Structure 1
Amino acid sequence: MRSLRTLSATGLVAAVVLTGSAATAGDTEPFAYKRGPVSVTQHGVEDRGGVLVRDITYTGRAGEPVRAYLVEPARRGHYPAVLYLHWFEPPNPTSSRLEFLDEAVERARQGTVALLPDLTFPWSVDVVGDRRDVANVVAQTVRLRVGLDLLTTRPGVDRSRVAVVGHDYGGMYGLLLASADRERISAVVAMNVDATFSNWFATFFLGLGGDATIAYEKLFEPVDPIRFVTQRRGVPVLFQYAEPDFFVPDSTRRTLVSLAERPKDYRLYPDAGHELDATARADRAAWLDDRLNP
């Protein structure tokens, strides 16, 4: 991915303040939070042929700043919106807000606003093997809910047409949002997701086994995606999986999809790899078009 070429920069400008409602009615625990002002600082903007790619930082109430891209059509309109959540694949540069940038620009040319935040857990915050990991999953989810506050209050965004697209860990967070924010989310795409956070953390980060793994798994039960796929209450989901996928066993994939309430779509991509492929991207675009542009 090319880096942004700054056409105009605001530097340390006075923050734009977007105000949400005072409280979140019908919140899903443990991700409850109180909405408040969202401060946005723009660092630069690039015009990509009628699409504005804004390099921003946003901050919610008592929260940490989140670096993100905000991608918008340059022309005024009444647009659907997508929150894109990237995968974990360091040191690949697309293990960041860059992963979906080209996809977001392409959709913006057709009339869509997108927010692409940098995720931090487990990208830049270490997995330590205790309750702090669960707290970090909760904190990351709340920061993404603040991102939805920003996106749904953006001028020109149709609040009735908001989707989440997530890959790998990003897709797992997307499934949590589809339950916690089901009143604001119209559709969710989950790409090569695991059913539980503890599985990848225990296996690839901590090297746990036996009783230690079982105890660690129990810590995450209140926040695992497999719990929340049954609580979307009508939010449609598209599951996209490579077959085979080194990181997601067939049994895990089948269990998660079978437990997910309808409406749901389930598509497999032979030999596409964990990153998936152009066919998956085209399917994702068409599926989103059907739900965001009826």
Structure 2
Amino acid sequence: MRRRVGLMVVGMVTAAGLVAGGTATAGTQTAKRPAQQHVVVEDITIPVPGQDPVQAWYVHPAGEAKKHSAPAVLWLHWLGEINNDRSEYLSEAVGLAGKGVYSVLPNGYFPWVPNPDGTTGDVTLVENQVAAFRSALDRLASERAVDPTRIALVGHDYGAMYGALLADSDDRISAMVLQAPDALMGNWFAQFWLQLEGDARTQYLVLFDGLDPVDHTARLGDRVLFQWAGRDDFIGQDVRDAYAASSPDAQVDFYERNDHEFRDDARADRLAFLADQLGLPSS
């Protein structure tokens, strides 16, 4: 139903080059140092206790930084038709690395790879995915340069839903951007994979009690930014209202002409939010 996108491993690059859509192979550098510092994009494998390891990109400025001096971001991608993996936010991570930000971008597993089957096994897979993303956060926070008080999370679609669960249970996350999360963790499983209706749907959704993202976004108050799209076929006013009720202090951006994928105006706004929350230079 949706596909994964093949990716090329990138080595040493300049922030400007990759953001502009250029490619580079390992070891490539510009002959003349640009205004932004060089950026390293590393293909890493993150161990997860009791699970298969997670493949991720670790994006960071070249060179050494002082201990606990740098902000960081954990990026959790969507389940979509394009950039359906860790590639979704790569250009943003590279751009921020040019300003000294450290990032980890892990691949998601469920429901990107296995399909929900309608059993309690789906709940276990959700819990396992949260644990896997927590391991990615562990990897990011373990970096000597990362300031443990300035770690943000950005998530879209399922990435936002998992991000809400992770951030509510882990106070290392100090700010987050959530793009178009559904309110109920099992809702899309029931609708798009399992085609459940009536009592069967109700009984299935009950399995996810305690794992509904809408109940896990209030902790950070106004350090949360929701981004909603007016032409979103998957998220309606009822979902936006549910989050407004559960997180009344959160900041909200609404893009009347955007669909579920969003566009460049949403990108610019979330980068501005991150700059403010992480104390980044304005230019």
TM-score by length of 1: 0.81
Task: Please tell me whether residue 198 in structure 1 is matched to residue 186 in structure 2.
Answer: yes
Letter in 1 for 2:76: L
Q: In the alignment, is the contact (CA less than 8 A) between 1:121 and 1:140 conserved in 2?
A: yes
Q: In the alignment, is the contact (CA less than 8 A) between 2:76 and 2:86 conserved in 1?
A: yes
Q: In the alignment, is the contact (CA less than 8 A) between 1:45 and 1:53 conserved in 2?
A: no
Match of 1:58 among 32, 36, 46: 46
Letter in 2 for 1:227: D
Letter in 2 for 1:172: M
Matches within 5 A, 1:26-105: 50-77=38-65, 78-90=69-81, 92=82, 94-105=83-94
1:234 positional shift: 4.7
Equivalent residue number for residue 284 of structure 1: 270
Q: Aligned pair count? A: 253
Match of 1:252 among 222, 230, 239: 239
1:62 positional shift: 2.7
Letter in 2 for 1:145: R
Equivalent residue number for residue 228 of structure 1: 216
1:167-219: per-residue Cα shift (whole Å, max 9, x none)? 000000111111011x2011010001100111111111111101101001111
1:178, 1:220 → 2: CA distance?
A: 18
Q: In the alignment, is the contact (CA less than 8 A) between 1:56 and 1:68 conserved in 2?
A: yes
1:111 positional shift: 1.1
Q: In the alignment, is the contact (CA less than 8 A) between 1:161 and 1:292 conserved in 2?
A: yes
Letter in 2 for 1:187: A
Match of 2:206 among 213, 218, 221: 218
Equivalent residue number for residue 28 of structure 1: none
1:233 positional shift: 5.2
1:160, 1:47 → 2: CA distance?
A: 33
1:251-293: per-residue Cα shift (whole Å, max 9, x none)? 111111221153x101101121111111100000000110101
Q: In the alignment, is the contact (CA less than 8 A) between 2:186 and 2:208 conserved in 1?
A: yes
1:106-147: per-residue Cα shift (whole Å, max 9, x none)? 010111000000000000122101111111110000111111
Letter in 1 for 2:173: I
> Identity percentage over the alignment?
40
Task: Please tell me whether residue 270 in structure 1 is matched to residue 270 in structure 2.
Answer: no
Q: In the alignment, is the contact (CA less than 8 A) between 1:83 and 1:115 conserved in 2?
A: yes
1:4 positional shift: 2.6
RMSD: 1.9
Task: Please tell me whether residue 158 in structure 1 is matched to residue 147 in structure 2.
Answer: yes
Equivalent residue number for residue 20 of structure 1: none
- Change in Cα spacing, 1:227 to 1:120, as seen in structure 2 (3 Å) is same
Letter in 2 for 1:259: S
1:249 positional shift: 1.3
Q: In the alignment, is the contact (CA less than 8 A) between 2:11 and 2:41 conserved in 1?
A: no
| Displacement over 6 Å in runs of 4+ | none
1:233, 1:279 → 2: CA distance?
A: 24
Letter in 2 for 1:257: A
Secondary structure of 2:196's aligned partner: coil
1:188, 1:245 → 2: CA distance?
A: 21
Which 5+ residue runs of structure 2 have no aligned equivalent?
Answer: 13-24, 31-37
Letter in 1 for 2:9: L
TM-score by length of 2: 0.84
Equivalent residue number for residue 120 of structure 1: 109
- Change in Cα spacing, 1:70 to 1:46, as seen in structure 2 (3 Å) is farther
